[in-house]
Chains A and B, each alone.
Chain A
């Protein structure tokens, strides 16, 4: 049975973008290609988390679950985890 891909959305609201979210857009350079192949990554409009959440920018949504304060390292781990559990 074919697994469905992990849906990843990187918040591109201005606040997220300038506080490290932009770095995540270079995912091709730092995420394991094997993991990338299982993911569908896209930039998205502001997730509005900054207005309600207690976390910090940048925000990322993985299969509709929101993560805050994501840096490159954490991004790799979250993706690998999500792919494993898919």
Chain B
């Protein structure tokens, strides 16, 4: 996967911010078609073939930000202004989550191993001896891979002492844990939406930006602009994503137009308590293991690809689900919006909580709102967070092993023993592993599954690198703990 901060994410944030500025000024329709020209000025040295293609890509990014299904509704003759009018008058359906920009797809050659000039044609020839398919031959004293025999196992790459074997992957195919991203007959990217689990790994892996999420930002921005009573539910991963303290962040979110802010950690406490009870019950009844159910991408994975795990995952709602109930109780007349690091949460909200949750957006999009509205988090006077003592530890839900830790802290051991096992990140390998559990159960009673390696703090909607997020989180947590 790509580093979080690269030219592409920076461009994305710039586009988000510029679009939002126009939106809040009320000039979006007039400005829309000028935005690509302003964002990619004539003087820019292009990274793609030319500025015109870059402008076309900005146009598509704006469409994706507005929630348009580019695969289905792309019409090159239609001005952006028309699209914007459409989006302003009605919200687009939230699913499918992802869409592709074929124009951007580079049509990468299929995944392959190649031997570079670095080959010294050595005497030991470990590549040849270790190739299980005898695919390596030597021509003029250099190794060559016979394409028709190669099964792309990568053994030759592992054993070459000169690192002369290179792997050239198709990043999107490689990143997808469930093989839902494939190249079509013309060699361009295609997503099988009914297989997709919404983890967002393909979006982040494509260096050309050819796969995009259909953002849920517009419905929320419209609510804010209309001055509706909207409550923000902030995911536990938000700590460390912005400068300043959580209290200042709460103040900033309210300044952006939200009526109040509720921490999803509050719902996470309910999840922990109920999951601990459920675990106890299941073990006493003789079940061999139970998995967590808070990661929406994992929920999709089970529903679509590993059906036998359906009865193994806890029936407890996710922290977002309980938080939505808390908000409903506290503000029966308000709308609720989940702000998190996650793309799959949009799927969860659309499939399970259509009546309870009115919008889902990411931290990165929240940042764009702040910049567009000129809100500086660090300059805000901190808002009172209220009494957080009971659920403070549940902010750990955002970090791998954190969910299991919170559940175990609330687990009444009495006569039963529970071991935990974290699945830290979904990829092809862990998906295979989880499929084997049907025949041989894992050596743990509570399995915590998180689709993103490192936990939600490494989610696709985050702003800062996980390493820094952890650092900022520990700094902020420090004074709390020393008390």
Contacts and interface: CB of A to CB of B under 8 A. Distances in A.
* Chain B residues touching A, majority SS: helix
Interface residues of B, number: 24
Contacts of B375: 14
Contact of B367 (A18, A29, A43): A18
Interface in A1-48: 12-15, 17-20, 22-23, 25-26, 29, 43, 45-46
Nearest to A69: B10
Given A18-B463, A20-B10, A26 B378 contact: no
Interface stretch (B125-133, B430-438, B464-472): B464-472
Contact of A23 (B242, B364, B465): B465
A29 B371 CA distance: 28
Interface string B410-454: 000000000000000000000000000000000000000000000
* Chain A residues touching B, majority SS: helix
B468 A13 contact: no
B467 A14 contact: no
Nearest to A21: B243
A25 B468 CA distance: 8
Contact of A18 (B252, B371, B465, B471): B371
Nearest to A28: B471
Given A22-B468, A25-B468, A13 B378 contact: yes
A15 to B, nearest CB: 5
A25 B151 CA distance: 44
Given A14-B376, A22-B468, 5 more contacts: A12-B243, A17-B243, A17-B463, A19-B10, A29-B467
18 contacts: A12-B244, A12-B378, A13-B243, A14-B242, A14-B243, A14-B371, A14-B377, A17-B464, A18-B367, A18-B371, A18-B463, A20-B10, A23-B468, A25-B468, A26-B465, A26-B471, A45-B378, A45-B379
